[in-house]
Amino acid sequence: MAMMMADLSFSASISNAKLPRYGNDSSLVKRSSMFRAEARSTESEKYTTNGRSRKMVPTTELMRSKGGGRARTDTVNGSLNGAVNGSTKAVINGSTNGVVNGSTRAVINGSPKVVVTGTSLVNGSNMSSLVKTQKQMSARDDPFEEELKVLPSDEGFSWAKANYNSVQRSIDIWSFVLSLRIRILFDNAKWAYPGGFSEENQKIRRRNTASWLREQVLQLGPTFIKLGQLSSTRSDLFPKEFVDELAKLQDRVPAFSPEKAKAFIEKEMGCSVDVAFKEFEDRPIAAASLGQVHRAVLHNGERVAVKVQRPGLRKLFDIDLRNLKLVAEYFQRSEKFGGPSRDWIGIYDECSKILYEEIDYINEGKNADRFRRDFRNIKWVRVPLIMWDYTTEKVLTLEYAPGIKINNLAVLDSRGYSRSLIASRSIESYLIQILKTGFFHADPHPGNLAIDKDGSLIYYDFGMMGEIKSFTRDRLLSLFYAVYEKDANKGYKSFN
């Protein structure tokens, strides 16, 4: 523990108390001097759902000419003070009509509503930013531009068919459970090995069973893929061979067709994709167990990522979880699966709660806004902004923020990023979440953590979050300092 502490440095953001340093070196990781913007609330400010202040500003502050200077814009974690997702609400001739996601809607002397971006107003540009688009760069020119890959399709899976009914689904689930039970029985039975039982033969057979399990999970679809991904982190419950195979599910999730995605977006938003977006890429850049992500461009030229939920997911969850509850009850009664020593019913309840929370994208957007507020004064943590005008319960639109996967060591090394600095920041960010804010990201696999161009950590996917109560957090903080100071008595007292 001492060696680990000696190799890392923290920015004292965990608490107001400074941690002692070893030796004369104040920091083992060099940090450049920087200015920190601070958001201060006033009595006249009112807060919106994502926690940013919305301030009424005079038109003279907005309508600046190029020669007259520019309105001051302090930024905190990538957003303007007095703004909602980068937008400004203006009062012009006594009329107000504010819009989020970077735009201001004004009614001037009873004339029709005109939509322009808040940025163009601040800059005093006469050219509407609707005709300004960001310069597109190819993946070859920009290493942070995600290259489109051909993802496997879900068309060959029975669960993706429109006429898939609950009876057939239940038969498929129980056929899988019984087959798995028989395979595990033969793996553990010494008499089932024709050439004689040995630990090496058992490991080979378990690896074959684990490979079969992974393929069956893919065949069973989103619910089981998600549960498989969760199980890949529970080496305390499952054999190592199973954990290693289930971890591969992260890169093997099939995508659904762009036709399905567009039809789903139109149903959710109440308008066609062409009306909602200036550009929309048919091929997804990523597919997950519960949805997939497409790149798009808004009509103001801003690039965004659109996360689209798999069609019919809630109906599938209802059927699957009804059957899985019976499976959990069977495991709870079986001594072969741990019986009373493992709380399978509790595991089922927790997984069920997580699954239903993850398919509510409104909840995910609120989680992202809260997480961003928690890190508003931490320059090296980035959270993509949520575009609430283009977000529903099943479609989430957010700022496009590509980065290098945190486990892509070859690319990180070739670009000159410091592994020790990344490790230090990753640990510190989680200490802040657990010991200071009490609101932590509960799904930090490599697909949800990336490195930005300036070395900042980018967090994605806020569907699965955890919360630690203040009482527990205070005790954990005391324990942390006790370990750091090598004080056994202090550590003992933190538990009492």
Of 229-233, 261-265, 473-477, the poorest mean pLDDT is in: 229-233
Residue 258's nearest CA partner among 287, 285, 284, 296 is 284
Q: What are phi and psi of 137, to 5 degrees?
A: -120, 140
Residues of the chain above pLDDT 90, percent: 38
Contact present, 385 and 397 (Cβ < 8 Å): no
Q: Which two tokens stand for residue 88?
A: 């400004």
Mean of the per-residue pLDDT values of the chain: 75
pLDDT at position 25 is 43
pTM above 0.75, yes or no: no
Alpha carbons within 13 A on the beta-carbon side of 484: 18
pLDDT at position 418 is 95
Task: Tell me the residue type at 131.
Answer: V
pLDDT at position 77 is 47
Task: Reply yes or no on whether the pLDDT at 89 is more than 50.
Answer: no
Q: How confident is the model at residue 69 (pLDDT cuts 50, 70, 90)?
A: very low
pLDDT in tens, 393-416: 999 999 999 999 998 999 999 999
CA distance 45 to 57: 11
Mean pLDDT value of segment 340-356: 86
Q: What is the dihedral of CA 407, 408, 414, 419, to 10 degrees?
A: 0
Q: Please state, in angstroms and as integers, the Cα–Cα distance from residue 397 to each residue in 73, 270, 280, 380, following that order.
A: 25, 15, 12, 23
54: CB partners within 8 A, 6+ apart: 45, 46, 47, 48, 82, 83, 84, 89, 98
Cα three-residue angle 356-358-363, rounded to 5 degrees: 100
Residue 276's nearest CA partner among 297, 307, 255 is 297
Strand 465-467 and strand 53-54: the pairing is unpaired
pLDDT at position 56 is 41
Q: Which helix (H) or strand (E) holds 244?
A: helix 240-246
Task: Reply yes or no on whether the pLDDT at 154 is more than 80.
Answer: no
Q: Which helix (H) or strand (E) holds 419?
A: helix 419-431
Higher pLDDT, 120 or 359: 359
pLDDT at position 158 is 72
Judge whether 282 counts as a catalytic residue.
Answer: no
pLDDT at position 279 is 96
- Catalytic residue (choose from 443, 452, 454, 461): 443
Q: How confident is the model at residue 282 (pLDDT cuts 50, 70, 90)?
A: very high
Residue 195: other Cβ atoms inside 10 A: 6
pLDDT at position 10 is 52
First to last CA, the chain: 23
- Helices (H), strands (E): how many in the chain? 16, 19
Higher pLDDT, 361 or 334: 361
Contact present, 417 and 111 (Cβ < 8 Å): no
196: CB partners within 8 A, 6+ apart: none
Mean pLDDT value of segment 472-485: 89
Task: Reply yes or no on whether the pLDDT at 39 is more than 50.
Answer: no
Higher pLDDT, 216 or 496: 216
Residue 34: other Cβ atoms inside 10 A: 7
Higher pLDDT, 90 or 165: 165
Measured in whole angstroms, the distance separating CA 310 from the mean position of its chain's CA atoms is 17
Task: Reply yes or no on whether the pLDDT at 212 is more than 60.
Answer: yes
Q: How confident is the model at residue 139 (pLDDT cuts 50, 70, 90)?
A: very low
Residue 32: other Cβ atoms inside 10 A: 4
Q: Which two tokens stand for residue 226?
A: 């998600």
Mean pLDDT value of segment 300-304: 96
Q: What are phi and psi of 371, to 5 degrees?
A: -65, -40
pLDDT at position 195 is 82
Which phi-psi region, left, alpha or beta, contains residue 409 (left: φ > 0; alpha: ψ -120 to 50)?
A: alpha
pLDDT at position 484 is 87
Contact present, 440 and 430 (Cβ < 8 Å): yes
Domain boundary assignment for the chain:
1-33+403-496, 46-131, 158-254+339-352
Mean pLDDT value of segment 337-344: 75
Of 35-44, 135-144, 250-259, 433-442, the poorest mean pLDDT is in: 35-44
CA distance 115 to 99: 9
* Per-residue exposure over 154-192, b if at least 16 CB sit within 10 Å of its own CB, e if not: beebebbeeebeeeebeebbeebbeeeeebbeebeeeee
Higher pLDDT, 330 or 164: 330
pLDDT at position 446 is 82
pLDDT at position 160 is 74
Higher pLDDT, 104 or 174: 174
CA distance 10 to 27: 8
Of 18-27, 114-123, 319-328, 375-384, the poorest mean pLDDT is in: 114-123
pLDDT in tens, 213-234: 999 998 888 899 888 888 887 7
pLDDT at position 287 is 87
The DSSP bridge partners found for residue 197 are: none
Residues of the chain above pLDDT 70, percent: 67
Considering only CA atoms, give the Rg of the chain: 26
Mean pLDDT value of segment 347-354: 89
pLDDT at position 338 is 67
pLDDT at position 34 is 46
Q: Which two tokens stand for residue 267?
A: 């149903």
pLDDT in tens, 445-455: 888 999 999 99
